[in-house]
Amino acid sequence: MHPHTPPGHPPGPDTASDAGPELLLRRTLRRHAAGVTVVTVPGPAGFTATSFTSLSLRPALVSFCVATASSAALAVTRADRFAVHLLGADDAGLAERFARSGTDRFAGTPHAYRDGGLPVLGAAPVWLAARVRARHAVGDHLLVVGEVEAGAVRRTTSPLVRHAGAYTTTHVPADVSAGEAAGPGGPWGGAARRTSAAGPVRGC
């Protein structure tokens, strides 16, 4: 496959070609739109992350990574389960709270505890709970793999997205149905916009 440039649109300069690998990766990831989540573990501990992804459908495996220097890293290494909360377009404040260091991130944040002391946030439109199946030290991060055990889609909303160092969102198709549950409803049952950023997103 050969790169295609529309007529009258010369390719832009390859400004990052001579950058070191770390700078090149930073520049590249700023241009990668990623969904914003909050990961929580017993403790309670939690942090904002954009690294959540699915690994397998059968079995239902998901993963995230956390920086080993993160304040939540120790709790993550001790946890046997975790919850991932997919944030909506109006949850930028929640994302900023769980990305901020030196504060009690759960203070003033509605949450309830599942079995084993796993905190589940009340405001998140979607959440999943998983049991840890593997941990791998990868560079300066810890990669965690979990098997999904429970979760719910509480409501349909535009997602919170991180792009170019800021929070933004995307349009939700009209045919996306509300209230699609992946399991028990849990403690609480069932056009682009950009917001200001509050520093780097923690985790990966």
Name the pTM for this structure: 0.73
The 10s digit of each residue's pLDDT in 4-27 is 555 555 555 555 456 787 777 767
Type of residue numbered 71: S
Contacts of 41 (CB under 8 A, 6+ apart): 72, 75, 76, 78, 79, 81, 82, 83, 118, 119
Boundaries of every domain in the chain: 34-188
- Which pLDDT does position 166 carry in this prediction? 62
Q: Encode pLDDT of 44-87 as tens digits.
A: 999 999 889 999 999 999 999 999 888 888 999 999 999 999 99
Architecture field, domain 34-188:
Roll (2.30)
Q: What is the DSSP letter of 138?
A: E
Give the model confidence (pLDDT) of 148-191 as tens digits: 999 999 888 888 887 656 666 776 655 554 444 444 444 434 33
